[in-house]
Chains A and B, each alone.
Chain A
Amino acid sequence: MLEFSNVDKWYGDYRALDGINAQVAAGEVVVVCGPSGSGKSTMIRTVNRLEPIQGGVIRVEGRDVHDRGCDINALRARIGFVFQQFNLFPHLSVRENVMLSPVKVGGMRPDEAEALARELLEKVGLAHKIDAMPANLSGGQQQRVAIARALAQRPPILLFDEPTSALDPEMVGEVLAVMKQLARDGMTMLVVTHEMGFARDVADRIWFMDQGRILEDTTPQAFFTAPAHPRAQRFLSDVLRTDDVTGAMVPAGQMAPAAHAARCAA
C-alpha cells in the first residue's frame, strides 16, 4: 500500500531523513514513535508531498508519488491526513468542512455528500454537532471532525501526524477510541504518536525512529518487552516504567498501580 525506498531528505545541510526503507501493507496499522526531532512528522508529511524529498522513491498503491505523470490532487484525495493542530476550516460549519472534499474533488452531488457527512459524523460520535462551527467545539471534538473530514475522501490509507499531542489528557481518550475503531474496521493507518498504550493495543507494527533513521521495525510485543537497539531501550525506559507489583508498563507521569493502591490504603 505504502512503500519508502531509500528516502533521503535534507533541510539545507541538516539531514532530516536518512535512507528510510519501510512498507505498510494494506490493512496494517503502523505506529511511528521516537524522540523529538527524529524525523517522524517529516517522514509522514513526505508521503502526500507536503514536504519534498531529495532522494529515494515513495510509492502509494504502487505508484511513485513524484512521477511526472502523477496528478498530485488525485493522489492527495486518496490519502487521508489528520493534523496535530486539527486545521479545520473556521469559516465553514462542521457539515461544510466534511463535505468540501467529496463535492469539490470527488465530484459528489451535494445531497449525497451531506448523507455521507452525516454517516461519518455519526461514526465519530458527533452527529449532533453537524451544524456547529469549529469555534464551538472542544479540541477533542475538532479532531474527531478532522478525522471524519479525512474519511469523507474514502481513502484507502489514513496518515495521522501526532493527532492527540495538542489535546488535554481527558480528550485524548475520545480521539484514540475513534482511531481504535477505524483500526478494527480494517483501515490502513500510519500513525505518528507518543501514545504508547495505543501502540501496544492496536498497532500491527512499530517503527522506532531517531535522527532520521528507522532503528526498529518490529511487532509491539517485541518492541515493548525486548527492544534491540540501545537507543530504543533508553527511549522506553524514559517513557515507560515497570510497575513493581503487577509488572505492567506504566507511562511516565502516571502513578504506578501498586503505589496508587498503597496511597489509597494509607
Chain B
Amino acid sequence: MIVVKQLVKSYNSNRVLHGIDHQQERREAVVLIGPSGCGKSTFLRCLNQLEIADSGTITIDGVTVQGGQAASSGVGVSPAFFSRVFGAKKVRTDPTPEQREQQRRLRMRAGMVFQSFNLFPHLTVLENVTEAPIVVKGMARTEADDLARQLLAKVDLDQKAYAYPSQLSGGQQQRVAIARALAMQPRVMLFDEPTSALDPELRDEVLRVMRNLAEEGMTMIVVTHEMQFARDMADRVVFFDGGLVAESGPPEQIFEAPVNARTREFVMRVGNGRA
C-alpha cells in the first residue's frame, strides 16, 4: 500500500531525513512519535508532496514519485530563477507538467489534516467539504452535498453545516478538516499533530473521530504526542530519531519493552501512555 525507500530531505545544508524506509499495509494505522525536530512532520509532508524529497521514492497505492523533482508549489518565484541569478550549486527546474500531474495524483491518494486546521474561512462548513469534490473531481453539487452531509454526520457536525469556520471551536474546526479530507476519498489519511493546537478538553472529540476512522479500517499515519492515543489505537508505532527510523513495532513493544536506548529514554520522558 505505502512503500517509501531511502527518502532524503535537506533544507539548505541541514539534512532532516537521512534515508527513511517505510512500508505499510492497507488498513494499518501507524503512529509516528519522536522528539521535536526528528523529522516526523517533514516525512509526512513529503508523503503528500508539500515538501519534495531530494532523493528516494514514494509509492502510494501504485502511484510512485521520485525525489529530486522541483516542487509544484502554489505561490512564489521559481527556484530555477534564483539558482541561475544567485549561482546556487544545485540547479532545480520548474516541474514539467507530467511531473506536476504525477505529484497531484499522489496527493489525491493521501488526505492531510494539519495542526492548524487550515479551513477555508470564506466558505461555510458544508462548502469547505464540498469544494474539492466539485472543483477537482467535477462532482455535481447535489451529490457533493449528500456526501458532505454524511461525512459531517460522521464527525458529529451535521448541525453546523451553514456555520463559518470562525464561528466554530478549535475541536469543531479540526473535525470539519477531517471531513473535508475524507470527502476526496483518499486511500490514506495523514494527520500532522492534529490535536497540538487544541485545548486539552477539546482534544478528545477529535481523537474520538480518529479512533472511529481507524476502527473502520482507514489506512492512517498519525504524527502525535498523545501517547495514550498511540497505545490504544495504533497497529504499529514508529519511533523517529535524528532523521531515521530508530525503532518500529507494536505499541506494547515500544512502550513496554523498547529495544533502542533512545526509544527507552524518550518513553521514560513522555510517559508510556498509561493513564
A binds B: no
